[in-house]
A and B are shown apart, each in its own frame.
Chain A
Amino acid sequence: MPMFLPNDDPGANFPALLRRTGLTETGPGGERLGGDIPHATTCVAVRFADGVIMAGDRRATSGNLISHRTMEKVVEADRHSAVAIAGAAGPAMEMIRVFQLQLEHYEKVEGSALSLEGKANQLSMMVRGNLQGAFAGLAVVPIFGGYDLRRETGRVWAYDVTGGRYEEREYVTTGSGSLHAGTVIKIGFRDDLDRSGVLALVAKALWEAADADSATGGPDALRGIYPVVATITADGFTPVADDELATTFESVAEEVRAR
Protein backbone atom coordinates (compact mmCIF):
# COMPACT_ATOMS: atom_id res chain seq x y z
CA MET A 1 0.00 0.00 0.00
CA PRO A 2 1.63 3.30 -1.08
CA MET A 3 1.60 5.28 2.19
CA PHE A 4 3.63 8.41 2.85
CA LEU A 5 4.33 10.62 5.82
CA PRO A 6 2.46 13.93 5.73
CA ASN A 7 5.65 15.92 5.13
CA ASP A 8 6.71 14.01 2.02
CA ASP A 9 3.40 13.08 0.51
CA PRO A 10 3.26 13.42 -3.31
CA GLY A 11 -0.34 14.68 -3.08
CA ALA A 12 -2.39 14.40 -6.26
CA ASN A 13 0.71 14.39 -8.49
CA PHE A 14 0.88 11.10 -10.39
CA PRO A 15 4.29 11.65 -12.09
CA ALA A 16 5.77 12.43 -8.66
CA LEU A 17 4.20 9.24 -7.32
CA LEU A 18 5.79 7.28 -10.19
CA ARG A 19 9.20 8.74 -9.33
CA ARG A 20 8.71 8.01 -5.63
CA THR A 21 7.85 4.39 -6.33
CA GLY A 22 10.73 3.97 -8.80
CA LEU A 23 8.49 3.22 -11.80
CA THR A 24 9.97 5.83 -14.16
CA GLU A 25 13.31 5.33 -15.81
CA THR A 26 15.46 8.41 -16.26
CA GLY A 27 14.68 9.91 -19.65
CA PRO A 28 16.85 9.16 -22.66
CA GLY A 29 19.88 11.35 -23.01
CA GLY A 30 23.41 11.47 -24.43
CA GLU A 31 24.01 10.48 -28.02
CA ARG A 32 21.61 11.19 -30.82
CA LEU A 33 19.65 8.10 -31.77
CA GLY A 34 19.23 8.87 -35.46
CA GLY A 35 16.21 8.85 -37.73
CA ASP A 36 14.89 5.29 -37.67
CA ILE A 37 12.52 5.47 -34.72
CA PRO A 38 8.86 6.15 -35.57
CA HIS A 39 7.80 9.79 -35.78
CA ALA A 40 4.30 11.14 -35.94
CA THR A 41 2.98 14.24 -37.65
CA THR A 42 0.23 16.79 -38.57
CA CYS A 43 -2.30 17.78 -35.90
CA VAL A 44 -4.53 20.85 -35.68
CA ALA A 45 -7.01 22.28 -33.18
CA VAL A 46 -9.47 25.03 -34.10
CA ARG A 47 -11.78 27.03 -31.84
CA PHE A 48 -15.40 27.57 -32.77
CA ALA A 49 -18.57 28.78 -31.06
CA ASP A 50 -19.31 25.51 -29.19
CA GLY A 51 -15.75 24.61 -28.25
CA VAL A 52 -12.83 23.06 -30.11
CA ILE A 53 -12.34 20.66 -33.02
CA MET A 54 -9.10 18.72 -32.97
CA ALA A 55 -7.79 16.57 -35.82
CA GLY A 56 -4.68 14.60 -36.66
CA ASP A 57 -3.51 12.29 -39.44
CA ARG A 58 -2.77 8.60 -38.81
CA ARG A 59 0.71 8.09 -40.27
CA ALA A 60 3.92 7.32 -38.39
CA THR A 61 7.20 7.24 -40.30
CA SER A 62 10.62 5.76 -39.54
CA GLY A 63 13.02 7.54 -41.85
CA ASN A 64 11.70 6.79 -45.34
CA LEU A 65 9.37 4.03 -44.26
CA ILE A 66 5.74 4.31 -43.24
CA SER A 67 5.79 2.37 -39.97
CA HIS A 68 2.12 2.71 -38.95
CA ARG A 69 -1.00 3.69 -40.83
CA THR A 70 -3.48 3.71 -37.97
CA MET A 71 -1.83 5.72 -35.21
CA GLU A 72 -4.21 7.75 -33.08
CA LYS A 73 -2.48 11.03 -32.34
CA VAL A 74 -5.58 12.85 -31.13
CA VAL A 75 -6.72 11.39 -27.83
CA GLU A 76 -9.17 12.23 -25.11
CA ALA A 77 -7.18 13.63 -22.17
CA ASP A 78 -10.27 13.65 -19.97
CA ARG A 79 -13.96 14.35 -20.51
CA HIS A 80 -13.51 17.99 -21.49
CA SER A 81 -10.07 18.13 -23.06
CA ALA A 82 -7.99 16.48 -25.76
CA VAL A 83 -4.32 16.33 -26.60
CA ALA A 84 -2.61 15.69 -29.94
CA ILE A 85 1.05 14.94 -30.44
CA ALA A 86 3.85 15.24 -32.97
CA GLY A 87 7.38 13.95 -32.57
CA ALA A 88 8.96 10.65 -31.55
CA ALA A 89 6.05 8.21 -31.25
CA GLY A 90 7.31 6.16 -28.27
CA PRO A 91 7.95 9.01 -25.81
CA ALA A 92 4.86 10.83 -27.14
CA MET A 93 2.51 7.93 -26.44
CA GLU A 94 4.02 7.49 -23.00
CA MET A 95 3.62 11.21 -22.29
CA ILE A 96 -0.05 11.06 -23.29
CA ARG A 97 -0.62 8.00 -21.12
CA VAL A 98 0.91 9.62 -18.04
CA PHE A 99 -0.95 12.86 -18.81
CA GLN A 100 -4.32 11.08 -19.01
CA LEU A 101 -3.55 9.20 -15.80
CA GLN A 102 -2.47 12.39 -14.07
CA LEU A 103 -5.76 14.15 -14.88
CA GLU A 104 -7.81 11.18 -13.67
CA HIS A 105 -5.58 10.67 -10.63
CA TYR A 106 -5.90 14.31 -9.62
CA GLU A 107 -9.67 14.20 -10.05
CA LYS A 108 -9.98 11.09 -7.87
CA VAL A 109 -7.57 12.16 -5.13
CA GLU A 110 -8.80 15.75 -4.90
CA GLY A 111 -12.46 15.00 -5.58
CA SER A 112 -12.71 17.60 -8.37
CA ALA A 113 -11.13 18.00 -11.80
CA LEU A 114 -8.25 20.38 -12.58
CA SER A 115 -9.15 23.63 -14.32
CA LEU A 116 -8.43 23.68 -18.06
CA GLU A 117 -5.57 26.11 -17.47
CA GLY A 118 -4.20 23.72 -14.83
CA LYS A 119 -4.29 20.84 -17.30
CA ALA A 120 -2.47 22.92 -19.93
CA ASN A 121 0.17 23.86 -17.36
CA GLN A 122 0.57 20.23 -16.28
CA LEU A 123 1.24 19.19 -19.89
CA SER A 124 3.79 21.99 -20.19
CA MET A 125 5.73 20.53 -17.26
CA MET A 126 5.70 17.08 -18.86
CA VAL A 127 7.06 18.46 -22.15
CA ARG A 128 9.80 20.27 -20.23
CA GLY A 129 10.59 17.01 -18.45
CA ASN A 130 11.43 15.49 -21.84
CA LEU A 131 14.08 18.13 -22.65
CA GLN A 132 16.89 15.54 -22.40
CA GLY A 133 14.96 13.43 -24.88
CA ALA A 134 14.58 16.39 -27.21
CA PHE A 135 18.37 16.80 -27.28
CA ALA A 136 18.68 13.12 -28.18
CA GLY A 137 16.34 13.58 -31.15
CA LEU A 138 13.25 12.34 -29.32
CA ALA A 139 11.34 15.61 -29.15
CA VAL A 140 7.62 15.54 -28.37
CA VAL A 141 5.53 18.60 -29.22
CA PRO A 142 1.85 18.38 -28.30
CA ILE A 143 -1.10 20.69 -28.78
CA PHE A 144 -3.83 20.85 -26.18
CA GLY A 145 -7.42 22.01 -26.36
CA GLY A 146 -10.59 21.72 -24.41
CA TYR A 147 -13.79 23.25 -23.21
CA ASP A 148 -13.30 25.55 -20.21
CA LEU A 149 -16.33 24.87 -18.00
CA ARG A 150 -15.66 27.96 -15.85
CA ARG A 151 -15.36 30.43 -18.73
CA GLU A 152 -17.77 28.50 -20.98
CA THR A 153 -15.58 28.64 -24.04
CA GLY A 154 -13.19 26.46 -26.04
CA ARG A 155 -9.46 27.15 -25.61
CA VAL A 156 -6.36 25.87 -27.42
CA TRP A 157 -2.66 25.81 -26.58
CA ALA A 158 0.52 25.19 -28.54
CA TYR A 159 3.83 24.11 -27.00
CA ASP A 160 7.49 24.11 -27.89
CA VAL A 161 10.11 21.47 -26.99
CA THR A 162 11.22 23.38 -23.90
CA GLY A 163 7.71 23.28 -22.42
CA GLY A 164 6.80 26.80 -23.53
CA ARG A 165 3.03 27.13 -23.49
CA TYR A 166 1.21 29.50 -25.83
CA GLU A 167 -2.53 30.01 -25.79
CA GLU A 168 -3.90 30.99 -29.20
CA ARG A 169 -7.18 32.71 -30.04
CA GLU A 170 -8.06 30.90 -33.26
CA TYR A 171 -6.13 27.71 -33.93
CA VAL A 172 -2.93 25.77 -33.19
CA THR A 173 -0.97 23.23 -35.26
CA THR A 174 1.93 20.88 -34.66
CA GLY A 175 4.07 18.47 -36.67
CA SER A 176 6.03 18.45 -39.92
CA GLY A 177 2.95 19.35 -41.96
CA SER A 178 1.90 22.15 -39.63
CA LEU A 179 3.05 24.94 -41.94
CA HIS A 180 0.73 23.78 -44.74
CA ALA A 181 -2.18 22.94 -42.45
CA GLY A 182 -1.77 26.20 -40.53
CA THR A 183 -1.78 28.26 -43.72
CA VAL A 184 -5.01 26.66 -44.93
CA ILE A 185 -6.68 27.32 -41.58
CA LYS A 186 -5.32 30.86 -41.37
CA ILE A 187 -6.86 31.73 -44.74
CA GLY A 188 -10.15 29.93 -44.17
CA PHE A 189 -10.79 30.80 -40.52
CA ARG A 190 -13.83 32.92 -39.66
CA ASP A 191 -15.18 33.72 -36.21
CA ASP A 192 -18.70 32.58 -37.12
CA LEU A 193 -17.85 29.12 -38.48
CA ASP A 194 -20.13 26.40 -37.10
CA ARG A 195 -19.25 22.76 -36.48
CA SER A 196 -19.63 21.66 -40.11
CA GLY A 197 -17.72 24.70 -41.34
CA VAL A 198 -14.77 23.99 -39.03
CA LEU A 199 -14.92 20.30 -39.89
CA ALA A 200 -14.61 21.12 -43.59
CA LEU A 201 -11.76 23.52 -42.82
CA VAL A 202 -9.69 21.03 -40.79
CA ALA A 203 -10.32 18.34 -43.43
CA LYS A 204 -8.94 20.69 -46.09
CA ALA A 205 -5.98 21.59 -43.88
CA LEU A 206 -5.06 17.92 -43.35
CA TRP A 207 -5.55 17.20 -47.04
CA GLU A 208 -3.12 19.95 -48.06
CA ALA A 209 -0.62 18.91 -45.37
CA ALA A 210 -0.73 15.30 -46.60
CA ASP A 211 -0.38 16.53 -50.17
CA ALA A 212 2.82 18.48 -49.47
CA ASP A 213 4.43 16.63 -46.53
CA SER A 214 5.65 13.04 -46.98
CA ALA A 215 5.36 12.29 -43.27
CA THR A 216 1.65 13.14 -43.11
CA GLY A 217 -0.92 10.58 -44.23
CA GLY A 218 -4.02 11.58 -46.17
CA PRO A 219 -7.47 9.99 -45.93
CA ASP A 220 -7.12 6.36 -47.04
CA ALA A 221 -10.47 5.49 -48.63
CA LEU A 222 -9.07 2.18 -49.89
CA ARG A 223 -8.44 0.87 -46.36
CA GLY A 224 -11.13 3.01 -44.75
CA ILE A 225 -8.60 4.84 -42.57
CA TYR A 226 -9.49 8.48 -41.93
CA PRO A 227 -7.79 11.10 -39.75
CA VAL A 228 -8.98 11.18 -36.14
CA VAL A 229 -11.27 14.18 -35.69
CA ALA A 230 -13.03 15.00 -32.43
CA THR A 231 -15.16 17.82 -31.05
CA ILE A 232 -14.73 18.98 -27.46
CA THR A 233 -17.76 20.95 -26.27
CA ALA A 234 -19.75 21.41 -23.05
CA ASP A 235 -21.02 17.85 -23.64
CA GLY A 236 -17.47 16.51 -23.59
CA PHE A 237 -15.16 14.75 -26.03
CA THR A 238 -16.95 13.24 -29.06
CA PRO A 239 -15.11 11.56 -31.94
CA VAL A 240 -16.49 12.35 -35.39
CA ALA A 241 -17.75 9.12 -37.00
CA ASP A 242 -15.93 7.63 -40.01
CA ASP A 243 -18.92 7.94 -42.38
CA GLU A 244 -19.19 11.68 -41.70
CA LEU A 245 -15.42 11.99 -42.28
CA ALA A 246 -15.76 10.00 -45.51
CA THR A 247 -18.32 12.48 -46.90
CA THR A 248 -16.30 15.48 -45.66
CA PHE A 249 -13.12 14.27 -47.35
CA GLU A 250 -15.08 13.31 -50.47
CA SER A 251 -16.24 16.92 -50.81
CA VAL A 252 -12.64 18.13 -50.34
CA ALA A 253 -11.63 15.74 -53.14
CA GLU A 254 -14.44 17.09 -55.37
CA GLU A 255 -13.16 20.60 -54.80
CA VAL A 256 -9.60 19.58 -55.69
CA ARG A 257 -10.79 17.79 -58.86
CA ALA A 258 -12.68 20.90 -59.95
CA ARG A 259 -9.60 23.13 -59.71
Chain B
Amino acid sequence: MNMPFYVAPEQVMKDRADYARKGIARGRALVAIRYDEGVVIVAENSSATLRKISEIYDRIGFAGVGRYNEYDQLRVAGVRAADLKGYQYSRDDVDARSLANLYAQHLGQVFTHEMKPMEVEILVAEVGQTSEGDQMFHVLYDGTVMDEQDFAALGGDTDAITERVKAGWSDGLDLAAAVRLGRSALAGEERTLDPADLEVAYLARGNGRRCFRRLSDGEVEPLTTTATS
Protein backbone atom coordinates (compact mmCIF):
# COMPACT_ATOMS: atom_id res chain seq x y z
CA MET B 1 0.00 0.00 0.00
CA ASN B 2 1.28 3.42 -0.95
CA MET B 3 1.50 5.93 1.85
CA PRO B 4 1.08 9.55 0.75
CA PHE B 5 3.91 11.84 1.74
CA TYR B 6 3.23 13.66 4.96
CA VAL B 7 3.01 17.42 4.51
CA ALA B 8 2.51 19.57 7.58
CA PRO B 9 -0.83 21.47 7.54
CA GLU B 10 1.06 24.72 8.12
CA GLN B 11 3.01 24.07 4.94
CA VAL B 12 -0.14 23.28 2.93
CA MET B 13 -1.80 26.51 4.02
CA LYS B 14 1.32 28.54 3.42
CA ASP B 15 1.72 27.11 -0.08
CA ARG B 16 -1.88 27.86 -0.93
CA ALA B 17 -1.67 31.39 0.44
CA ASP B 18 1.54 32.03 -1.54
CA TYR B 19 -0.10 30.71 -4.66
CA ALA B 20 -3.17 32.94 -4.23
CA ARG B 21 -1.09 36.01 -3.34
CA LYS B 22 1.11 35.55 -6.40
CA GLY B 23 -1.95 35.34 -8.66
CA ILE B 24 -3.48 38.46 -7.13
CA ALA B 25 -0.24 40.48 -7.28
CA ARG B 26 0.02 39.83 -11.03
CA GLY B 27 -3.18 41.81 -11.68
CA ARG B 28 -3.70 45.55 -11.45
CA ALA B 29 -4.87 47.20 -8.27
CA LEU B 30 -7.89 49.25 -7.32
CA VAL B 31 -8.75 51.69 -4.54
CA ALA B 32 -12.02 52.55 -2.84
CA ILE B 33 -12.25 55.95 -1.21
CA ARG B 34 -14.96 57.42 0.98
CA TYR B 35 -15.97 60.92 -0.12
CA ASP B 36 -18.66 63.39 1.01
CA GLU B 37 -21.53 61.75 -0.91
CA GLY B 38 -20.58 58.08 -0.61
CA VAL B 39 -17.86 55.76 -1.88
CA VAL B 40 -15.93 56.00 -5.14
CA ILE B 41 -13.95 53.06 -6.55
CA VAL B 42 -11.09 53.67 -8.99
CA ALA B 43 -9.52 50.67 -10.71
CA GLU B 44 -6.67 50.35 -13.13
CA ASN B 45 -8.33 48.53 -16.00
CA SER B 46 -7.63 49.11 -19.65
CA SER B 47 -10.59 47.01 -20.79
CA ALA B 48 -13.81 48.93 -21.36
CA THR B 49 -15.94 45.79 -21.23
CA LEU B 50 -14.45 43.35 -18.72
CA ARG B 51 -15.29 45.12 -15.52
CA LYS B 52 -13.84 45.04 -12.04
CA ILE B 53 -16.47 47.23 -10.41
CA SER B 54 -20.19 46.47 -10.50
CA GLU B 55 -23.55 47.06 -8.91
CA ILE B 56 -24.86 44.44 -6.50
CA TYR B 57 -27.94 46.10 -5.05
CA ASP B 58 -29.56 49.46 -4.34
CA ARG B 59 -26.83 50.70 -2.01
CA ILE B 60 -24.17 48.03 -2.49
CA GLY B 61 -21.28 47.90 -4.92
CA PHE B 62 -18.70 45.20 -5.65
CA ALA B 63 -15.09 45.34 -6.79
CA GLY B 64 -12.71 42.49 -7.43
CA VAL B 65 -9.07 42.00 -8.36
CA GLY B 66 -7.19 38.92 -9.43
CA ARG B 67 -8.55 36.28 -11.81
CA TYR B 68 -11.42 37.71 -13.79
CA ASN B 69 -13.47 34.53 -14.12
CA GLU B 70 -13.26 33.88 -10.38
CA TYR B 71 -14.29 37.29 -9.10
CA ASP B 72 -16.96 37.56 -11.80
CA GLN B 73 -18.44 34.30 -10.55
CA LEU B 74 -18.48 35.79 -7.04
CA ARG B 75 -20.07 38.99 -8.36
CA VAL B 76 -22.93 37.09 -10.00
CA ALA B 77 -23.43 34.99 -6.86
CA GLY B 78 -23.61 38.24 -4.87
CA VAL B 79 -26.24 39.73 -7.18
CA ARG B 80 -28.25 36.53 -6.84
CA ALA B 81 -27.95 36.40 -3.06
CA ALA B 82 -28.97 40.07 -2.76
CA ASP B 83 -31.90 39.86 -5.20
CA LEU B 84 -33.18 36.68 -3.56
CA LYS B 85 -32.98 38.20 -0.09
CA GLY B 86 -34.69 41.39 -1.23
CA TYR B 87 -37.45 39.34 -2.87
CA GLN B 88 -37.93 37.05 0.10
CA TYR B 89 -37.88 39.77 2.79
CA SER B 90 -37.57 43.45 1.95
CA ARG B 91 -35.17 45.64 0.00
CA ASP B 92 -34.16 47.21 3.33
CA ASP B 93 -32.94 43.86 4.65
CA VAL B 94 -30.15 43.52 2.10
CA ASP B 95 -26.89 44.73 3.63
CA ALA B 96 -23.20 44.63 2.85
CA ARG B 97 -22.17 42.98 6.11
CA SER B 98 -24.15 39.79 5.59
CA LEU B 99 -23.07 39.67 1.95
CA ALA B 100 -19.42 40.05 2.97
CA ASN B 101 -19.93 37.20 5.44
CA LEU B 102 -21.35 35.00 2.68
CA TYR B 103 -18.32 35.77 0.53
CA ALA B 104 -16.01 35.04 3.43
CA GLN B 105 -17.69 31.69 4.08
CA HIS B 106 -17.39 30.71 0.45
CA LEU B 107 -13.78 31.85 0.02
CA GLY B 108 -12.77 30.18 3.31
CA GLN B 109 -14.44 26.96 2.24
CA VAL B 110 -12.66 26.95 -1.11
CA PHE B 111 -9.34 27.85 0.50
CA THR B 112 -9.34 24.91 2.91
CA HIS B 113 -11.16 22.26 0.92
CA GLU B 114 -10.47 22.71 -2.76
CA MET B 115 -7.38 21.89 -4.79
CA LYS B 116 -6.74 25.51 -5.60
CA PRO B 117 -7.63 28.65 -3.64
CA MET B 118 -9.40 31.47 -5.47
CA GLU B 119 -6.90 34.06 -6.64
CA VAL B 120 -9.09 37.02 -5.80
CA GLU B 121 -9.57 39.82 -3.35
CA ILE B 122 -12.93 41.53 -3.25
CA LEU B 123 -14.48 44.61 -1.78
CA VAL B 124 -18.13 45.00 -0.79
CA ALA B 125 -19.06 48.64 -0.25
CA GLU B 126 -22.33 50.03 1.03
CA VAL B 127 -23.39 53.64 1.09
CA GLY B 128 -25.41 54.59 4.19
CA GLN B 129 -28.17 57.16 4.63
CA THR B 130 -25.51 59.41 6.18
CA SER B 131 -21.73 59.26 5.83
CA GLU B 132 -21.48 57.48 9.22
CA GLY B 133 -23.37 54.58 7.63
CA ASP B 134 -20.86 54.03 4.80
CA GLN B 135 -19.22 50.62 5.03
CA MET B 136 -16.43 48.85 3.19
CA PHE B 137 -15.61 45.17 3.66
CA HIS B 138 -12.41 43.82 2.20
CA VAL B 139 -12.46 40.02 1.80
CA LEU B 140 -9.23 38.10 1.13
CA TYR B 141 -8.63 34.87 -0.81
CA ASP B 142 -8.73 32.80 2.40
CA GLY B 143 -11.96 34.30 3.72
CA THR B 144 -10.42 36.89 6.02
CA VAL B 145 -12.77 39.86 6.33
CA MET B 146 -11.51 43.32 7.10
CA ASP B 147 -13.79 46.21 7.95
CA GLU B 148 -12.07 49.15 6.25
CA GLN B 149 -12.54 52.75 7.30
CA ASP B 150 -12.26 55.70 4.88
CA PHE B 151 -10.30 53.89 2.13
CA ALA B 152 -9.09 50.48 0.96
CA ALA B 153 -6.62 49.21 -1.62
CA LEU B 154 -6.86 45.80 -3.28
CA GLY B 155 -4.49 43.90 -5.54
CA GLY B 156 -0.73 44.04 -5.92
CA ASP B 157 1.54 46.63 -4.32
CA THR B 158 -1.21 47.70 -1.91
CA ASP B 159 1.12 48.86 0.87
CA ALA B 160 2.57 51.63 -1.28
CA ILE B 161 -0.85 52.53 -2.69
CA THR B 162 -2.40 52.67 0.79
CA GLU B 163 0.39 55.00 1.94
CA ARG B 164 -0.26 57.33 -0.98
CA VAL B 165 -4.02 57.40 -0.34
CA LYS B 166 -3.45 57.98 3.37
CA ALA B 167 -1.21 60.96 2.60
CA GLY B 168 -3.85 62.63 0.46
CA TRP B 169 -7.10 61.67 2.18
CA SER B 170 -9.15 63.98 4.34
CA ASP B 171 -12.75 63.85 5.54
CA GLY B 172 -15.27 65.45 3.16
CA LEU B 173 -13.44 65.13 -0.18
CA ASP B 174 -15.69 65.77 -3.18
CA LEU B 175 -16.06 63.28 -6.04
CA ALA B 176 -13.49 64.93 -8.33
CA ALA B 177 -10.90 65.17 -5.57
CA ALA B 178 -11.47 61.53 -4.59
CA VAL B 179 -11.09 60.37 -8.21
CA ARG B 180 -7.87 62.40 -8.56
CA LEU B 181 -6.55 60.92 -5.33
CA GLY B 182 -7.39 57.41 -6.46
CA ARG B 183 -5.77 57.94 -9.82
CA SER B 184 -2.53 59.38 -8.43
CA ALA B 185 -2.35 56.69 -5.73
CA LEU B 186 -2.67 53.94 -8.33
CA ALA B 187 -0.19 55.57 -10.69
CA GLY B 188 2.55 56.33 -8.15
CA GLU B 189 5.46 58.68 -8.81
CA GLU B 190 6.75 57.39 -12.14
CA ARG B 191 3.60 56.84 -14.18
CA THR B 192 0.46 58.74 -15.14
CA LEU B 193 -2.82 56.97 -15.86
CA ASP B 194 -5.15 58.21 -18.60
CA PRO B 195 -8.93 58.01 -18.18
CA ALA B 196 -8.84 55.16 -20.73
CA ASP B 197 -6.65 53.15 -18.31
CA LEU B 198 -9.11 53.65 -15.47
CA GLU B 199 -12.47 52.21 -14.51
CA VAL B 200 -14.37 54.51 -12.19
CA ALA B 201 -17.73 53.95 -10.49
CA TYR B 202 -19.32 55.37 -7.38
CA LEU B 203 -22.12 54.85 -4.90
CA ALA B 204 -23.76 58.16 -4.01
CA ARG B 205 -26.48 58.87 -1.47
CA GLY B 206 -28.20 61.33 -3.83
CA ASN B 207 -28.68 58.91 -6.74
CA GLY B 208 -32.17 57.71 -5.81
CA ARG B 209 -32.98 54.06 -5.11
CA ARG B 210 -30.09 52.63 -7.13
CA CYS B 211 -27.05 54.50 -5.84
CA PHE B 212 -24.53 52.92 -8.22
CA ARG B 213 -23.22 54.91 -11.21
CA ARG B 214 -20.45 54.12 -13.64
CA LEU B 215 -18.40 56.95 -15.14
CA SER B 216 -17.40 56.78 -18.80
CA ASP B 217 -13.89 57.80 -19.88
CA GLY B 218 -15.40 61.05 -21.16
CA GLU B 219 -16.85 61.77 -17.73
CA VAL B 220 -13.64 60.85 -15.89
CA GLU B 221 -11.52 63.21 -18.00
CA PRO B 222 -12.88 66.54 -16.63
CA LEU B 223 -12.79 65.18 -13.06
CA THR B 224 -9.10 64.38 -13.30
CA THR B 225 -7.95 67.52 -15.10
CA THR B 226 -9.51 70.20 -12.85
CA ALA B 227 -7.08 71.71 -10.32
CA THR B 228 -4.20 69.41 -9.55
CA SER B 229 -3.96 68.98 -5.78
Contacts and interface: CB of A to CB of B under 8 A. Distances in A.
Interface of A: 1-3, 14, 17-18, 21, 23, 97-98, 101, 104-105, 108-109, 111
A177 to B, nearest CB: 32
B55 A108 contact: yes
A108 B87 contact: no
Interface size range on B against A: 20 to 34
Interface stretch (B78-86, B126-134, B145-153, B183-191): B78-86
B77 interface: yes
B56 interface: yes
A76 B4 CA distance: 62
Nearest to B83: A105
B213 interface: no
B166 to A, nearest CB: 32
B88 interface: yes
A18 B85 CA distance: 11
Main secondary structure of the interface of A (DSSP, over half): helix
A105 B86 CA distance: 11
The 6 A-B pairs of least Cβ separation, nearest first, read: A2-B80, A1-B106, A1-B102, A108-B79, A1-B77, A105-B83
Contact of A18 (B51, B77, B87): B87
B76 interface: yes
B120 to A, nearest CB: 14
A127 B214 CA distance: 34
Nearest to A104: B83
A6 B105 CA distance: 21
A97 to B, nearest CB: 8
9 contacts: A2-B77, A2-B80, A3-B73, A3-B77, A23-B87, A108-B55, A108-B56, A109-B80, A111-B51
Contacts of A104: 83
A120 B212 CA distance: 26
Contacts of B51: 111
Nearest to A17: B80
A111 B103 contact: no
A98 B87 CA distance: 8
A109 B76 contact: yes
A3 B105 CA distance: 12
B45 interface: no
A5 to B, nearest CB: 11
Contact of B84 (A17, A109, A111): A17
A126 to B, nearest CB: 14
A108 B102 CA distance: 19
B54 interface: yes
A101 B83 contact: yes
Nearest to B214: A111
Nearest to A10: B80
Contacts of B80: 2, 17, 105, 109
A2 B56 contact: no
Nearest to A112: B49
Given A3-B106, A18-B87, A101-B87, A109 B79 contact: yes
A104 B105 CA distance: 26
B196 to A, nearest CB: 19
Contact of B79 (A3, A21, A98, A105): A105
A111 B199 CA distance: 14
A3 B84 CA distance: 13
**Of B78, B81, B84, B86, which is in contact with the most chain A CB atoms at under 10 Å from its CB?**
B84
B52 to A, nearest CB: 12
B102 A23 contact: no
Contacts of A111: 51, 54
Nearest to B80: A2
